[in-house]
Amino acid sequence: MTNKAPVKLSVNNGFMMKRWPEPQIWADLIAQELEITDVQFSLDLVNLEFGAKSLGPATREILTACAQSGIEISSVFSGLGHYCQNLMSHPEKGRRLEAFEQYKLAIDFTAALGVDTFGGHMGAMSVRDHGDEARRAALHDELMELVEQLALHAEGAGLKHLLWEPMPVAREWPSTLEECHELSAKMQKLPGAQLGLCLDVGHCCRYDLGGEDSDPYRWVRELAHVSPIIHLQQTDGTRDYHWPFTEANNEIGIIHPEPLHEAIAQAENSVITHLTFEVFPAFEQPDDAVILDMKASCDYWRGCEIVNEQK
């Protein structure tokens, strides 16, 4: 017997940062202008630095706005602001632990929203630390220990999934297919919430890789069994641009619905549930143009019927 599970189109709302931070406004824009009802909530739209007390009112406002707009939040994710930090691979021990505590708070926030999945960027080593073999190994081992503790915290908070996003930089482990396979093997043995990956089709561009290692569709075929969420962005394959899927970008871009559909169909035991737009417009781009580009992206992918088939 074959069970068919549709893969949902979703939108990471990080592109709303600074422009439309008000929950009711971003929820209405996504539901009415983009005609998408599934959202990945970006931590760029809340301030974890203010602590747990500030998140209570924000949580209630977000839940009210989503209920009124018919929006469902399916996951919570670290944002562009977090990607600009070293987080749990910072050279200073205290800063690593601060990032760990902040992600624990993010997990609690995720649970308060009634969402079962949290994920994101876990850490970036400095150039000096990555260049020192012994230091690199020690920070790597510590990062794995901290993520394991996060998985336990997530399980205790009621979450089902903790997702780790591979990145396109060697200092931001994992960043190769081999490293992703190594990590996925470790993740299956760890206790707590189920650890998985969140693949980004624009992250297969590490400058020292080439050939099939730079093929985003190969990454999907080989890692779909541990990647519930795929981040969508348009790219020419050389940089992590996070472009929208406009007509002009699609002419030079390598990410398109049909080949991604084929890669998912060819993957064994795919667990993919969401294709999530993660687009970062330039801050100086006109606000109306941002919405038009996001609408074009949704329209480009909306007609692509993707189904997971599990025997």
Reference 186, options 144, 143, 140; nearest CA is 144
User: Which residue's structure tokens are 């890789």?
Assistant: 209
Which amino acid would we find at residue 79? G
Mean pLDDT of the region 250-278 = 97
Contact 157, 110 (CB under 8 A): yes
What digits encode the pLDDT tens for the residues 68-96?
A: 999 999 999 999 999 999 999 999 999 99
Show the tokens assigned to 167.
Answer: 């990145």
Q: Where are the beta strands (DSSP E) in 22-178?
A: 38-42, 72-77, 117-120, 161-164
Q: Is the pLDDT of residue 50 over 80?
A: no
Reference 71, options 114, 133, 102, 106; nearest CA is 114
Which amino acid would we find at residue 294? M
Q: Please tell me the predicted confidence (pLDDT) of residue 49.
A: 80
Q: Where are the domains of the chain?
A: 3-310
SS3 141: helix
Show the tokens assigned to 83.
Answer: 């990607």
Q: Please tell me the predicted confidence (pLDDT) of residue 3.
A: 40
Tell whether omega for the bond before 191 is within 30 degrees of 0, i.e. cis: no
Q: What is the pLDDT confidence band of residue 311, given thresholds at 50, 70 and 90?
A: very low
Give me the architecture of the 3-310 domain, per CATH. Answer: Alpha-Beta Barrel (3.20)
Instruction: Give the span between the Cα atoms of 159 and 107, in whole angstroms.
Output: 8
Q: What is the pLDDT confidence band of residue 263, given thresholds at 50, 70 and 90?
A: very high
Contact 224, 193 (CB under 8 A): no
Q: Is the pLDDT of residue 305 over 60?
A: no
Per DSSP, the chain holds a count of helices (H) and strands (E) of 11, 10
| CA atoms lying within 13 Å on the CB side of residue 288 | 0
Q: Please tell me the predicted confidence (pLDDT) of residue 310.
A: 47
Instruction: Give the span between the Cα atoms of 78 and 55, in whole angstroms.
Output: 15
Show the tokens assigned to 134.
Answer: 């012994």
Contacts 24+ apart (CB under 8 A), 284-292: 287/19, 290/15, 290/19, 291/29, 291/33, 291/34
What digits encode the pLDDT tens for the residues 204-256?
A: 999 998 788 899 999 999 999 999 999 999 999 999 999 999 999 999 999 99
